[in-house]
A and B are shown apart, each in its own frame.
Chain A
Amino acid sequence: MSREDAPGQPPKRVRVTAPRSQASRAPSGYPVAREVAEQSEVGQVFVRSLIRSQLRLAVVVAVGFLLVLLAFPLLLAWVPGLNRAEFLGVPFVWLLLGVGVYPLIGLSAWLYVRTASRNEARYLDLVEEDE
């Protein structure tokens, strides 16, 4: 960024007139070579396979989470006595829905972020090899 930061002087004010409709890309380098590599036929195969693996990952995590979530009420309905079971005076239902679900959400999110980053790292390795 070429902002003049003269010591003791605040940066110049700039009048902003209209919101830009396109945010600038992340400032990290995005070399032409890679742009070209991604547009090539081989590059497109890589991109498609990245998209597919990310989508598969997202769907697997989402479906897994929803199945467990769905299992909670079914468990309560089908296991006799669970509805009346208590832990420290608090019914099991309340513990499960009021507290227990949240660690499950956190765990799913953490697993997803880890694997998604790994997919992207693998893609970057492939593309850079190809360049």
Chain B
Amino acid sequence: MNAGVGYAAIIGVFAVTALIGFYGLRISRTTEDFYVASRTVRPWWNASAIGGEYLSAASFLGVAGLILISGADALWFPIGYTAGYLMLLLFVAAPLRRSGAYTIPDFTEARLESPAARRITSLLVVLVGWLYIVPQLQGAALTIRIATGLPPWVGSVAVAVVVCITVVTGGMRSITFVQAFQFWLKLTAIAVPIVFVLIVMANSGLTVPAVAEPFAAEPVGSPTAGAYRNISLVIALLFGTLGLPHVLVRFYTNPDGPSARRTTLIVLGLLSVFYLFPTLYGVVGRAFMPDLATSGSPDALVLLLPGRLIPGLAGDALTALVIAGAFAAFLSTTSGLVVSVAGVISQDMLGGRVRGFRLAAVFSSLVPLGVALLTDTTQLAGSVGLVFAFTASTICPLLLLGIWWRGLTDAGAIAGMLAGAILCGGSIMLSRALGAEAGPMGDLLAQPAAWSVPAAFAVMIGVSLMTKNRRPAGITTIMTRLHAPERPVPAPNR
């Protein structure tokens, strides 16, 4: 690949992001703007921003790579990522907006009136955020190696440093505009090249090689996943989405409950359109680049396909576009996560000063960077899937029971979250340690969501029932606040 194209694309994305951040900064300078953009963000803007933050390395690169490896089974990934927003809409969106809390720990404290439950939630949110940043940085490492030929660690370091600087200098005040822009950049960057490839295929007779079977049932690389894994994965993605800290924080930019719902509806539409394209890459990739599944890095499929099939200047331009889109994905997801993790750390551990926030931002970019440099991933979509399983086993039961069940107590919430964290985290680590030796238990350990999520719910409900006397005194007021609709128009005084 032409290294100059790679450099141009990456520097271009960094520059445009900084420019919008700076330009937006001058528009938004009041206190209300600093907090959630005055809550005046239109649903379309807001939905684009949520999409921008949500579509990470796993969606942009990982899904197509996984389809290349395992075929139709991998289609469950984008389904889960999208349907997770359906669950968020059904169970969380409007009540969480009405709760008035900015972060999940805030929600916990408001609902359970317990500082201890708040601390445990904060800890989990920080952990989830860090675990989610790691694959983004690994995606950046992969992309920089392919795009420029530089050593992989340069990519991780570049993304971590750029995000750290923008967050620390306050460039994220105009985060809504940056994220919304990055959604449309990502959609363009993934859609335009594959459409070109399809047009070229149709016109100039780029025929599918005779040996290739793009829709073959059997996977090209790894063994087929099996029903348990697919079901467990879908459970993880469905219920993991509604606990993601960087996604939830965006719901406060909605003025009220109904507009939170409208925003989610638009997000569902945007994601549905986006995920058609990684699927196309996967299918075309299976026809023309099946070698990538076994020898190279399948996650690089999206980056390599346009250049391989369209020669010359046009191919270079399209390649630059996908590289730009990939970096937009790393930057937007990472900065969203760093902001929400740093917010939690600074508020709960450093006293909530701006200095503390900056310190926390540096800290929360460096820790995942260290992990990303020390570890290695072969599948971006897979490692992000495990983060979803962890969120689904810890934060999801807290939110669902907290919003819908009066009986949840602080003791129940703490016990349930800890149980979920230990079961899910422990089983993933055990599966990593055992590797192939796990035998028949291998699938259960590697993809634990199907049993660890129900277990966390059971513990949370069971302990809450045993500690009925610990129900918060103001539960009636809290439940009313969560569910009673706002008045559509201010009523005249009577």
Footprint of B on A, CB under 8 Å? 1, 3, 10-11, 13-14, 16-31, 33-34, 38-39, 44, 47, 50-51, 54-55, 58, 61-62, 65, 69, 73, 83, 90-91, 93-94, 97-99, 101-103, 105-106, 108-110, 112-113, 116-117, 120-121, 123-124, 127
Q: How far is the CA of A54 from the CA of B490 in the complex (A)?
A: 24
Q: How far is the CA of A47 from the CA of B490 in the complex (A)?
A: 20
Q: Which residue of B lies closest to A46 (CB)?
A: B484
Contact B29 A11, beta carbon cutoff 8 Å = yes
Contact A47 B90, beta carbon cutoff 8 Å = no
Contact B353 A47, beta carbon cutoff 8 Å = no
Additional A-B contact list (6), CB under 8 Å, known A18-B351, A31-B493, A58-B90: A3-B30, A22-B101, A38-B480, A50-B484, A65-B83, A106-B269
Binds A, one of B271-279, B316-324, B459-467: B271-279
Contact with A along B200-224 (1 / 0, CB 8 A): 0000000000000001010000000
Q: How far is the CA of A61 from the CA of B90 in the complex (A)?
A: 8
Footprint of A on B, CB under 8 Å? 29-32, 34-36, 39, 72, 75-76, 79, 82-83, 86-87, 89-91, 94, 98, 100-102, 106, 109-110, 215, 217, 227, 230, 234, 252, 255-258, 261-262, 264-265, 268-269, 272, 275-276, 279, 283, 343, 346-347, 351-354, 357, 404, 476-477, 479-480, 483-491, 493-494
Residues on A with C-beta less than 8 A from B491 are 29, 31
Contact B485 A120, beta carbon cutoff 8 Å = yes
Contact A112 B252, beta carbon cutoff 8 Å = no
Q: Which residue of A lies closest to B110 (CB)?
A: A22
Q: How far is the CA of A117 from the CA of B110 in the complex (A)?
A: 25
Known A-B contacts A109-B268, A116-B94; the reply to A21 vs B488 at CB < 8 A is: no
Known A-B contacts A51-B404, A105-B268; the reply to A99 vs B30 at CB < 8 A is: no
Contact B275 A102, beta carbon cutoff 8 Å = yes
Known A-B contacts A23-B100, A28-B490; the reply to A113 vs B261 at CB < 8 A is: yes
| Minimum CB–CB distance for B282 against chain A, Å | 9
Q: How far is the CA of A13 from the CA of B170 in the complex (A)?
A: 14
Contact A28 B488, beta carbon cutoff 8 Å = yes
Residue from A44, A61, A109, A123 in contact with B264 in the complex, judged by beta carbons closer than 8 Å: A109
Residue from B110, B261, B283 in contact with A116 in the complex, judged by beta carbons closer than 8 Å: B261
A-B contact pairs, 6 of them (CB 8 A): A16-B31, A23-B101, A26-B486, A28-B490, A102-B272, A108-B86
Chain B contact residues, majority secondary structure: helix
| Minimum CB–CB distance for A85 against chain B, Å | 12
Q: Which residue of A lies closest to B252 (CB)?
A: A23
Residue from A11, A73, A105, A120 in contact with B86 in the complex, judged by beta carbons closer than 8 Å: A105
Contact B35 A21, beta carbon cutoff 8 Å = no
Contact B72 A124, beta carbon cutoff 8 Å = no
Q: How far is the CA of A103 from the CA of B106 in the complex (A)?
A: 35
Residues on A with C-beta less than 8 A from B347 are 18-19, 21
Residues on B with C-beta less than 8 A from A112 are 89-90
Q: How far is the CA of A65 from the CA of B476 in the complex (A)?
A: 32
Residues on A with C-beta less than 8 A from B484 are 38, 47, 50, 123, 127
